[in-house]
Copies of this chain bind each other. A is one copy, B any other.
């Protein structure tokens, strides 16, 4: 396997996990900045053409994992791999952000749900959607239906 290394860090308003909106209908309209380390900035070439980016980052303040979790969006337990819980065998997180603008090594983005100082592992272009009519969202859809 490989040894994870940060390609940059997140600048965010969130200083602790309790401040990040969670649960059903949680929105993440917050803007933030992805600061890419000088050694990797050339890899951002042409990124301005993309509206949305997939950011992989490390849950660097999480330890251990649980295979069954009760997520903030439901009062029932579910399998870890159907949730976004930070406590995972490989503590890798994924956030899709909207790219607002680039300023050299800085990507100004919207949709930040990371803590300030979070290490970024990778950035990939967001290229395509799953057709809505084919998408089933399991227990989350059920939890939403119970609430409405």
A residues neighboring B (CB under 8 Å)? 1-7, 40, 42-54, 56, 58, 60, 67-68, 77-84, 88-92, 94, 96, 98, 119, 121-127, 129-130, 132, 134-142
User: A78 with B121: in contact, given A58-B2, A94-B94, A135-B129 (CB under 8 Å)?
Assistant: no
Q: Are A124 and B79 in contact (CB under 8 A)?
A: no
Q: Are A47 and B122 in contact (CB under 8 A)?
A: no
| Copies of the polypeptide in the assembly | 2
Known: A5-B89, A7-B90, A130-B96. A82 touches B47 (CB 8 A): yes
Q: Say yes or no: A137 contacts B50, CB within 8 Å.
A: yes
Contact between A81 and B121, CB atoms less than 8 A apart: no
Contacts of A43 in B (CB 8 A): 67-68, 79-81
Interface of A, helix, strand, loop or mixed by DSSP: mixed
Q: Which residues on the B side are within 8 Å of A90 (C-beta)?
A: 2, 4-5, 7, 56, 121-122
Does B92 lie within 8 Å of A7, measured CB to CB?
no
Q: How far is the CB of A115 from chain B (nearest CB, A)?
A: 15
**Cβ–Cβ contact A88 & B50, under 8 A:** no
Residue in contact with A1 in the complex, picked from B7, B51, B119, B135, CB distance below 8 Å = B119
Q: What distance in Å separates the Cβ of A120 from its nearest Cβ neighbour in chain B?
A: 9
12 contacts between A and B (CB under 8 A): A1-B3, A1-B58, A4-B90, A5-B89, A42-B79, A43-B79, A43-B81, A46-B139, A81-B123, A89-B122, A92-B121, A125-B140
